[in-house]
Amino acid sequence: MTSKPLALITGAAQGIGYACAQALAEDGYELIVADINVDGIAKAAKELGAAAGIACDMSDAEQIRSLFFQIQNNHGSLHALVNNAGIALPGDFLSYSLEDFDQVISVNLRSVFIATQLAARMMVDNNIEGAIVNMSSINAQLAIPAIPAYCASKGGVTQLTKVAALALAKNNIRVNAVGPGSIDTAMMAGINADPEAMKTAMSRTPLGRLGSAREIGDVVAFLCSSKASYITGETINADGGRLGLNYTC
């Protein structure tokens, strides 16, 4: 047990999740980090000085429940939850498999519901006025035909964020989301390696560059902090201005 507030970050072995953990640690949180990558999360936990790094497949409801059971028994109640774990699985719409669709929905959306519910119960039982931040995307609003399940899942995350915020407001538990634009992570590796694809991506990004994972982490840390104490049910789109752009050049 620790006297510091406790935060769980899922999908924290790399990229945005790792950056969220870094930012929260700097704000004084004790960390629990989780990821499906067993070796990766062990390494990340050591680097971050986390209280625990736990392997968890967020598509598996029983594994999520086990994750929360371990946290409650070994570390106490959460003060913050960052639902970051996510996958894309691109493919052609006409041949897109139901198995891939279900897998993306289970990781990106169903896990957010399960984890949010479990975290909120923990907070309510311990009279904690906590914060939950979900990782949405600008693709909750802007569709890309090659990632149908991803777009659908992120649209669901944005709406689920509003629902949870309304349901938990009476307990002073705030629920918000972040909608990243084009961020320099492994998910962007293919575009990074293709000059023409990168040119297209930058043509729709008014700031003219990729965002960094840490820039998203800092938005998450803000939403978990007292500086955001009157913000709930919102999605902050950290997208370099993309959603406001109605043309490409």
Beta bridge partners of 139: none
Q: Which residues are catalytic?
A: 150
81: left (phi over 0), alpha (psi -120 to 50) or beta: beta
Beta bridge partners of 172: none
At residue 144, what is the residue type? I
CA dihedral for 19, 233, 132, 68, sign (positive or negative): negative
- The string of pLDDT tens digits covering residues 144-188 is 999 999 999 999 999 999 999 999 999 999 999 999 999 998 777
Instruction: Retrieve residue 173's tokens.
Output: 């538990």
Determine the 3-state secondary structure of 58 from DSSP. coil
Q: What is the pLDDT of residue 248?
A: 61
pTM reported for the whole predicted model: 0.95
Residue 207 lies in a domain: no
Q: What is the pLDDT of residue 1?
A: 64
Helix 15-26 with 213-224: angle, nearest 10 deg: 50
Residue 206 lies in a domain: no
Residue 67 lies in a domain: yes
- The string of pLDDT tens digits covering residues 42-77 is 999 999 999 999 999 999 999 999 999 999 999 999
Average pLDDT, the chain: 95
Determine the 3-state secondary structure of 174 from DSSP. strand
Alpha-carbon distance of 12 to 21, in angstroms, equals 7
Determine the 3-state secondary structure of 109 from DSSP. helix
Q: With beta carbons less than 8 A apart as the criterion, state whether 13 and 57 touch.
A: no
Of the candidates 170, 69, 89, 177, the residue with the CA atom closest to the CA atom of residue 124: 170
Q: With beta carbons less than 8 A apart as the criterion, state whether 119 and 81 touch.
A: yes
pLDDT > 90: percent of the chain: 88
Q: Into how many domains does the chain fold?
A: 1
At residue 228, what is the residue type? A
Residue 204 lies in a domain: no
Q: Cβ contacts of residue 164 below 8 Å, gap of 6+?
A: 116, 120, 132, 175
Q: Cβ contacts of residue 102 below 8 Å, gap of 6+?
A: none
Residue 118 lies in a domain: yes
Range(s) of the domain holding residue 48: 6-184+213-241
Residue 131 lies in a domain: yes
The domain that holds 65 is classified in CATH as 3.40.50.720
Residue 44 lies in a domain: yes
Residue 193 lies in a domain: no
Alpha-carbon distance of 160 to 60, in angstroms, equals 19
**Spatial strand order in the sheet of 235-236:** 52-55, 30-35, 6-10, 80-83, 131-135, 174-178, 235-236
